[in-house]
Structure 1
Amino acid sequence: MTSAVEDLRRRGVIGLGGAPLGNFARAMDDEQAARTLRRAWERGIRYFDTAPHYGLGLSERRIGAELRHRPRDEFIVSTKVGRLLVPRVPPLDQDDDGFVVPGDLERRWDFSADGVERCLRGSLERLGLDRIDILYAHDPDQAWDGAAREALASLARLKAAGIVSAIGIGTNSTAGLEPLIRAGLVDVIMLANRYSLLDHSALDAVLAPARDAGVAIVAAGVFATGLLSTDQPRPGATYEYRPADPAVIRRTELIASVCADHGVPLPAAALAFPLLHPAVAAVAIGMRSPREVDEDIERFTTEIPAGLWRDLVSAGLIPAGAVPAGPTSRSPEEPPGDAAARS
Structure 2
Amino acid sequence: MSVALPRLGLGTAPIGNLFAEVSERDAAATVAAAAAEGMTYFDTAPRYGHGVAEDRLGRALASGAAPGAVISTKAGWLLRPGERVVTDWTERGLRESLESSLRRLRRPAVDVLFLHDPDDFREEIRRTGYPAARRIREEGLAGAIGFGMNHCEPLAAYVAEFEPDVVLIAGRFSLLDHDALTTLLPLCAKTGTTVVVGGVFNTGLLADPRPGAMFHYRETPPDVLARARRCRAVCAEFGVPLAAAAVRFPYLHPAVGSVVVGCRSADEVRANAAAARAEIPPELWHRLAAEGFVPPELLEA
Normalising TM by the smaller chain, what interval? over 0.9
> Where does the alignment leave 5 or more consecutive residues of structure 2 unmatched?
none
Distance in structure 2 (CA, Å) of the matches to 1:83 and 1:211: 29
1:18 is aligned to 2:30: no
Q: Is the counterpart of residue 310 in structure 1 residue 281 in structure 2? A: no
Contact kept? 1:83, 1:110, Cα under 8 Å: yes
Contact kept, 8 Å, 2:46 with 2:101, in 1: the verdict is: yes
- Give the deviation of 1:69 after TM superposition: 3.7
If the length of structure 1 is used for normalisation, what is the TM-score?
0.84
Structure 1 residues 112 and 36: CA distance shift in structure 2, 3 A = same
* Aligned equivalents of 1:39, 1:317: Cα separation in 2: 31
1:155 and 1:323 mapped to 2: Cα distance? Answer: 37
- Residue aligned with 2:254, SS: coil
- Deviation string, structure 1 residues 75-94 (Cα, Å, up to 9, x no partner): 2100000111123xxxxxxx
Look up the SS of the partner of 2:148 in the other structure: strand
Cα root mean square deviation, aligned: 1.6
| Map 1:223-242 → 2, pairs under 5 A | 223-230=201-208, 233-242=209-218
**Residue by residue, what CA displacement relative to the aligned partner does 1:305-327 show, whole Å, maximum 9, x if unpaired?**
111111111223321123352xx
8 Å contact kept, 1:83–1:107? yes
How many equivalent pairs are there?
Answer: 300
Aligned-pair CA distance for 1:145: 4.1
Of residues 215-224 and 316-325 in structure 1, the stretch that sits farther from structure 2 once superposed is 316-325
Q: Which residue number corresponds to residue 108 of structure 1?
A: 86
Cross-structure match for 1:93: none
The 5 A counterparts of 1:58-207 are 58-70=52-64, 74-87=68-81, 104-141=82-119, 143-149=120-126, 150-207=128-185
- Between the aligned partners of 1:264 and 1:147, the Cα distance in structure 2 is 46
- Determine which of 235, 242, 248 is the counterpart of 1:266: 242
TM-score w.r.t. length of structure 2: 0.95
Q: Return the offset for 1:271.
A: 0.2
Deviation at residue 247 of structure 1 after TM alignment: 1.2
Give SS of 1:176's match. Answer: helix
SS at match of 1:250: helix
Helix, strand or coil for the counterpart of 2:153?
coil
Instruction: Give the gaps of 5 or more residues in structure 1.
Output: 88-103, 326-343
> CA 1:238/1:72 → structure 2, altered by over 3 Å: closer, same or farther?
closer
Structure 1 164/200 Cα, relative in aligned 2: closer, same or farther at 3 Å? same
Q: Are the counterparts in 2 of residues 152 and 185 from structure 1 also a CA contact under 8 Å? A: no
Aligned to 1:92: none
Matched residue SS, 1:298: helix
Instruction: Sort the Cα spacing of 1:72 and 1:197 in 2 relative to 1 into closer, same or farther, 3 A.
Output: closer
* 2:195 maps to amino acid: I
Aligned-partner SS, 1:175: helix
* Cα pair distance change 1:251/1:148, threshold 3 Å: farther
Deviations 1:145-169 (A, max 9, x none): 4344342222111112222110011
| Matching residue's letter, 1:226 | G
Does structure 1 residue 293 correspond to structure 2 residue 258?
no
